Structure 1
Amino acid sequence: MRALTQKDQPNKGGYLVIKKPWPSMLRTIWGDNERYIETYWEKFDNKYYVAGDSANMDQDDFFWIMGRIDDVLNVSGHRLGTMEVESALVAHPDIAEAAVVGMPHEVKGEGIFAFVVTKGERPLGAMKNEVTETLRSWVSDQVGPIAKPDEIRFADNLPKTRSGKIMRRLLRSIAKGEEITQDVSTLEDESIIKQLQQNE
């Protein structure tokens, strides 16, 4: 397995792919082999099986699953994968983690809401505004102006289960300004939710 990135360097987001076949792997889609090849193989010239998740490889060569690559936002009629924006954010040297979800937007239909964890202290006050603008420009340069996050919130961590999975449904609720009614008993640190809601 590997996380394919441009230079395959640690701390870069990429597609989680599997290099070698295994006994119980999916071999086709019944009645639609072309779709099977297009979905799982064509992305990297039929050399790697695309698992459908994005991943991040850390300095110790461990993989961190970041989420589904098919999470797509419709921003002003443009289809954008959340992974594209997340990968751009974590490629910034000061960013440790990022998660992106959609939010309602009066003009665009759907806006981009990013939750970010920095490598140093969480930026506050004027520093927060400065880092926000830096990241918006960074994403614009990396992906394109349409991908600039409309809102960026910083936290000490992202809301994760004890097994390390990011709870995106909670992030979607926060982005929409909804009350959290979901079960949060599996959260590793419930205080992160309040931190993200209050946008300190």
Structure 2
Amino acid sequence: VAGKRLGPTEFESALVSHPLVAEAVAVGVPDPIKGEAVVCFVTLHDKRSGQEGWSVWETELSDHVARLLGKPLRPARIHALTQIPKTRNGKILRRVVRNAYIGRPMGDLSSMENPRSIDEVIGLRAARV
């Protein structure tokens, strides 16, 4: 992103350091200008994801990441989810989240703890298209 090589862990750590965020996952998505942009998904401690005014919280979280990592590394979008897709062992399925968001085949989902958790990400893809 922006000529920098960062992994998802740096973005996730920055987001989780905010008191509002319980969990986070960051994925790279194709971008016509930058080549690749970062989109983040978070779960919140107090479940504000479905409420009006999410754009205010998205801006606050985006500003928080920009303060910690630098303005060029501000995420393109931050979405709130009720549950992040994980394996039964608790490992975040970044590949599945990324592919669901950009509309690619997700592959094997047999190891998912809750296969319905990906439906929210698919819904976000439908809303952005």
- TM normalised by structure 1 equals 0.59
* Partner residue of 1:138 out of 42, 59, 64: 64
1:195 positional shift: 1.0
**Aligned partners of 1:144 and 1:84: how far apart in 2?**
12
Where do 4+ consecutive residues of structure 1 move more than 4 Å? none
* Partner residue of 1:111 out of 23, 37, 42: 37
1:79 counterpart = 2:5: yes
Query: In structure 2, what residue type is equivalent to 1:87?
Result: S
* Partner residue of 2:89 out of 160, 163, 166: 163
* Cα-to-partner distance string for 1:41-62 (whole Å, 9 max, x where unaligned): xxxxxxxxxxxxxxxxxxxxxx
Q: Is the 1:114–1:149 Cα contact (8 Å) retained in structure 2?
A: yes
1:183 counterpart = 2:108: yes
Q: Is the 1:117–1:158 Cα contact (8 Å) retained in structure 2?
A: yes
1:126 positional shift: 3.1
Structure 1 segments unaligned to the other structure (5+ residues): 1-74
Percent identity, aligned pairs only? Answer: 36
Q: Is the 1:154–1:196 Cα contact (8 Å) retained in structure 2?
A: no
1:98 positional shift: 0.4
* 3-state SS, counterpart of residue 193 of structure 1: helix
Query: In structure 2, what residue type is equivalent to 1:158?
Result: I
**Aligned partners of 1:125 and 1:164: how far apart in 2?**
27
Structure 2 segments unaligned to the other structure (5+ residues): none
Query: In structure 2, what residue type is equivalent to 1:196?
Result: V
1:123 counterpart = 2:54: no
**Aligned partners of 2:61 and 2:118: how far apart in 1?**
22
1:197 counterpart = 2:117: no
Higher relative contact order, chain-length normalized (CA < 8 Å, sep 6+) = 2
1:168 positional shift: 1.4
> Who wins on radius of gyration, i.e. which is larger?
1
**1:81/1:183 CA distance change after superposition, 3 Å:** closer
Aligned to 1:174: 100
Q: Is the 2:85–2:113 Cα contact (8 Å) retained in structure 1?
A: yes
**Aligned partners of 1:104 and 1:197: how far apart in 2?**
16
**Aligned partners of 1:167 and 1:88: how far apart in 2?**
19
- TM normalised by structure 2 equals 0.88
**Aligned partners of 1:127 and 1:121: how far apart in 2?**
13
- Richer in strand (by share): 1
1:80 positional shift: 1.9
**Aligned partners of 1:133 and 1:92: how far apart in 2?**
13
What's the C-alpha RMSD, in Å, of the aligned pairs? 1.6
**Aligned partners of 1:190 and 1:82: how far apart in 2?**
22
User: When the two structures are aligned, how many residues end up with a matched partner?
Assistant: 125
